[in-house]
Amino acid sequence: MTLCMRPGASTTAVSGSKSRFLHGPSRSLAETSHSDFWKMGNGAGELIAALFASLLLHPSVPTGNHPYVIGWAEESLVWPEKIAIRTKLDTGTEISSLDARNPIFFQKNGVEWVRFNLALKDNNTGQLVNQVFEREIVAPVATAQTTSRRKRKAVDMEICFGQQLFKETFALDDRSAMHYPMVIGRPLIAKLGVVDSSRTFTIEPHCKSPSS
């Protein structure tokens, strides 16, 4: 983080001022006006004002129940296959969806399952590779269309995001014309963090198996 300070400003006694200022009983950071910063003297006011402005623009610290500030596009892992997939975080939709090519529906122990291909780009060669998945069909989900709503087949998938595994229901769709094969909707985004529309690929997925 780059701080802009006036020439000759001192950075002494910042740590002590920080703890008193942020946690003191008299006034909180939000209650202190911008002019109050400059009255502190010895350069401490200038530095804290710059820090305060930076936090407003780039809130990279945990806020409330949101552990991350994340980009609108991130990489996740499909679990347990551990297949990397580029994922779009779409705050404009409720339903998460997944690209499913050539779906084949079949019965397994009296339950409907689906086998489908997911076209993913190999990071080393740049070529598209078809990865085959099999999942049990769950209750269909209603998706909004331009003039009506229609129900689509859906599956439950576990995905690794950051260092956590999440179970999510994905509507199966042909996303061959789209840039991102996986889209995450608002309900799961609320568990992941706060989306910064100016950022992409800010965290790497690193999850451990539940048994490990």
Domain residue ranges in the chain: 14-57, 69-200
The pLDDT of residue 39: 52
Prediction pTM value: 0.65
Q: Splitting the chain (212 residues) into consecutive groups of 10 residues, what average pLDDT does each group show?
A: 41 36 37 47 54 45 60 94 93 94 95 93 76 93 63 94 94 91 96 94 89 55
CATH class as words, domain 69-200? mainly beta
The pLDDT of residue 187: 96
Q: Note the pLDDT tens digit of each residue in 96-131.
A: 999 999 999 999 999 999 999 998 877 667 787 889
DSSP string across the chain: ------TT---TTHHHHHHHHHH-SS--TTTS-HHHHHTS-TTHHHHHHHHHHHHHH---S-BTTB--EEEEEEEEEEETTTEEEEEEE-TT-S-EEEE-EEEEEEEETTEEEEEEEEEEE-TTT--EEEEEEEEEEEEEEEEE-SS-EEEEEEEEEEEEETTEEEEEEEEEE--TTSS-SEEE-HHHHHHH-EEEEEEE---------TT-
